[in-house]
A = this chain, B = another copy of it.
Amino acid sequence: MSHWLEALRNRFLLDPHAGTVGVALVGVGGWGMTNAAALMRTRRFDIRGLYDTDGAVAQTCAARYRTDRCTELDALLTRADVAAVVLTVPNPAHADLVRSAALARKHVFIEKPFTSTSAQARELIDLAAKERLTIMVDHTFLFTGAVKKIKQVIDSGELGKLLFYDSVRVNLGLFQHDINVIWDLAPHDLSIMAHLIDKKPVALTAHGTVHFQGGYEDIAYVSVEFEGNAFIAHFHVNWLSPVKIRQTLISGDKKMLVWDDLDADEKVKIYDRGVDVMSTNGGKAGIHDLLVSYRTGDVHIPKLEVTEALKAEAQYFVDCLEKNEEPFNNGQAGLQVVRLLEAADRSLKQGGRKIEL
């Protein structure tokens, strides 16, 4: 093994024999357990210890994975045999914990949304850069077969010039107690859009309603404007819909795409449909007419890779660590989402005023 590679491996404590990364888990309730299970299924992580504010929860997880249950968080974060920390804790605790981990020179895998404010996100990104650490934000959907295929289709230019992105993510419940429906549901769609659409958002407006006293917005609409103004994105998130809808429309001037995440077999459909518009001088002086023609061709339903998204993401985490590559779902990607969420909150508070980004 080359000296360089050895040094690299040592840097994040990839066990030279087992080829695994030593991790510490912070937060091992419901979703924390799910994360732990996915890590283990890759066979590339070694859980060196864990911590949870709920002792019983910590005990259960420690027993299952035969690992140490730490009662001192700092002790866990600073263990020498821990290269990365997996944080599955409530959003308000994100910033402090990532900072602590980074200061202890640990890589971080953290739940979305990355932080509560963009200022925090920026600080942590800088800190990680300085310490040459990797932050990966858990934007799980980016690892599904559907999103991977859609990215491939868009990047290939098959859709042509993109016209709009429209996402609907609605169902009945589950109400969250500490955040509104935008912070709960929209991070999925905002991170997917940011991943797919290579355009710069410049302004955002959010409309929503609080129906229950003491609660947060339980239904909301978010519109995002982009540089150049010829593209629009829109998100409908809702805890009060009788039916579950998970549908995204992405139209280009060549082809159009529908992603219905609830369709078991035919999630992504690509429509060879479009509009051809020519502006032309009409019969009357000074009047411009539009010549519009419609194309309707075949529909194509590509086979999607069958992946377990969370396991693939965990695998990607270890791959990035090993190759010392920046993940696409890094702190910067997390920041992009937080900026939009933050702007959405500001817009809601100002009664739907447009917020420049």
Contacts and interface: CB of A to CB of B under 8 A. Distances in A.
B289 A177 contact: yes
A217 to B, nearest CB: 10
Contacts of A225: 207, 351-352
Interface of A: 163-164, 166, 168, 170, 172-175, 177, 203, 205, 207-215, 219, 221, 223, 225, 229-232, 234, 236, 238-244, 249, 251, 253, 256-258, 262, 264-266, 269, 271-273, 275, 277, 279, 288-290, 292, 294, 296-303, 351-354
B209 A229 contact: yes
B236 A208 contact: no
Given A205-B205, A249-B242, A215 B279 contact: yes
B240 A175 contact: no
A249 to B, nearest CB: 6
Contacts of A299: 266, 300-301
B279 A214 contact: yes
A241 B232 contact: no
A265 B266 CA distance: 15
A238 B170 CA distance: 20
A232 B209 contact: yes
A279 B214 CA distance: 6
B257 A251 contact: no
Nearest to A204: B352
A269 to B, nearest CB: 8
9 contacts: A166-B241, A174-B292, A205-B207, A212-B279, A223-B352, A242-B258, A244-B265, A262-B264, A297-B303
Contacts of A207: 205, 223, 225, 232, 234
Contact of A175 (B168, B239, B290): B290
Nearest to A175: B292
Given A175-B275, A351-B354, A241 B266 contact: no
A303 B295 CA distance: 11
A294 B172 contact: yes
Contacts of A170: 249
Contact of A243 (B214, B221, B271): B271
A335 to B, nearest CB: 24
A240 B275 contact: yes
Given A207-B232, A221-B234, A351-B354, 13 more contacts: A166-B236, A173-B294, A205-B352, A207-B234, A208-B232, A210-B230, A234-B236, A236-B236, A240-B251, A242-B273, A244-B265, A262-B264, A299-B301
